[in-house]
Amino acid sequence: MKPRTFRRKLAVEAFVAVVVARLAVRFVSTRRLLAWAAKTPARPWRFADPVLPALVGVAVDRVGAKLDAVCLPRALAAQAMLRRRGIASRLCLGVAREDRSLSAHAWVEIGGQVIVGDVDPASGQGYTSIAQFGL
């Protein structure tokens, strides 16, 4: 398959995954949603292409930006796409202090590398992880 065709298929899958994740965040209980996020792939693929998680991350971020999806649906969509390919990942939830309030954020990482949900380095916000699901 040509690289352009593969990226297009990833974008279509990311669109569906983000839409489903937005609906899940809205209508599924938090307990069930986080229990799903804690599952590992049924058939882990140890020899997966090391570039694949980054491609999934780019596809989800682009589609999420066009759909104005917040971080949690994006992270759930990316984790679903990675799990479908047999790649184990970790969904992290974190908080940061903004003046007198707290700000929450969700991201997906593999081996300490953030795949989806990276914080803008220009803002200087560092999120402290308070919960992790998966891997």
Give residue limits of the domains in the chain.
Answer: 3-134
pLDDT tens sequence across 55-90 = 999 999 999 999 999 999 999 999 999 999 999 999
pLDDT tens sequence across 8-64 = 999 999 999 999 999 999 999 999 999 999 998 988 887 778 899 999 999 999 999
Q: Radius of gyration of the chain from Cα atoms?
A: 15
Q: Model pTM?
A: 0.91
CB atoms within 10 A of CB 34: 16
Q: Cα–Cα distances in Å, from 71 out to 6, 18, 59, 74, 82? A: 24, 10, 14, 5, 16
